[in-house]
Chains A and B, each alone.
Chain A
């Protein structure tokens, strides 16, 4: 059975836990958490990920910067990225999609939407 490795990049522990908790509904999901963009790059170099979920607003390195680095790196540029934005941040959302994000979710996120988006991107049918 396929194993799915997810990287959650989010500075809020509450959101990290909520996303992580929701993704555990997917069979064989392995979750790694990062608290900002810099931490995410470190974690990316340590493992192979099938999907990245990144918040836009984060200290140190924000989600957009992280996304642009990921898309320029041939090692990770194929990995689907979901960006999490706040309401009223349409400009950030558009920027994210232009930079190559595969999907976006708005806070407060609906956990079933998150799981559906992840399953769609990874073509998980179960």
Chain B
């Protein structure tokens, strides 16, 4: 009896599952029918659209698209060109600004150097240029005494008294610069280790044509200059080499001629009986 009961319960369970399967299959068939109907409708719509858009119109639109694509590529290329040009202008602007700065420095330096014939004033101006335009607070200006082949200190900044008095022409860097008339620049400023306190970073000859009348020796540069000398520094150095030399030389000649003139005037006065 018990076994029969169990069998009939299992049969009922099976029938339930079977019925659910039938229901699910019906639902699937319905969905399938709905989708097939939709496909047919879409195909009809597609045909309708094809009819509406005629072949010449499509080709015209395709041509327009191709034309626009070409135009877009040309514009992108042009934009890139303009961008490049822009970068070029920006870098040229910076160059012009730098050049402007250089010219301002050079103009002021040469203007000041030739603004006086007073020897001490010329030396003061050279000192000012080195401090303010080149950026050094330890340097020396030495002039050559042709009769003794010795360079004598005429002005300095940041040096102890007596640290440099005289340098023989041909001796050390300073003397060699005076002898050869060639500039001396330490190349690797970042790793520059002076061999002595008087080892110049920069030493330039003061030249009138090929004649060296003295040298400027620079032993120290301000922090921002210590890594690398800029183009304006080299231009200032070469300007100093020529202009400072002529300014110093002219001032010396002028003071000598003034002295001679006053001596001659004294003689004239004496001879003409003006002197008391």
Contact = CB atoms under 8 A, between A and B. Distances in A.
A21 B133 CA distance: 14
B222 A18 contact: no
Nearest to A10: B132
Contact of B112 (A13, A106, A112): A13
A107 B132 CA distance: 6
A87 interface: yes
Nearest to A17: B108
Contacts of B254: none
Contact of B134 (A17, A88, A108): A108
A38 interface: no
A86 B108 contact: no
A22 interface: yes
Given A110-B101, A111-B105, A14 B133 contact: yes
Given A106-B224, A108-B133, A22 B104 contact: yes
Most buried by B among A21, A88, A108, A110: A108
A14 B100 contact: no
Given A21-B104, A86-B137, A111-B104, A14 B97 contact: no
A12 B137 contact: no
Contacts of A15: 128, 132
Q: Interface majority SS on B: helix, strand, loop or mixed?
A: helix
A80 to B, nearest CB: 22
Interface string A51-90: 0000000000000000000000000000000000011100
B111 interface: yes
Contacts of B128: 12-15
Interface string A1-36: 000000000001111011001100100000000000
Contacts of A110: 101
A18 B101 CA distance: 10
Nearest to A109: B132
Nearest to B98: A112
B101 A112 contact: yes
Interface in B168-215: none
Contact of A21 (B108, B125, B129): B108
Nearest to B233: A108
B153 interface: no
A106 B101 CA distance: 15
11 contacts: A12-B131, A12-B132, A14-B125, A14-B128, A14-B133, A15-B128, A87-B135, A87-B222, A88-B223, A106-B224, A107-B135
Given A12-B132, A110-B101, 19 more contacts: A13-B112, A14-B108, A14-B128, A14-B133, A17-B111, A17-B112, A18-B105, A18-B108, A86-B131, A86-B222, A88-B223, A106-B224, A107-B131, A107-B132, A108-B105, A108-B225, A111-B100, A111-B104, A112-B97
Interface of A: 12-15, 17-18, 21-22, 25, 86-88, 106-108, 110-112
In order of increasing CB-CB distance, the 6 nearest A-B pairs are A87-B222, A108-B135, A14-B128, A18-B108, A112-B97, A111-B101
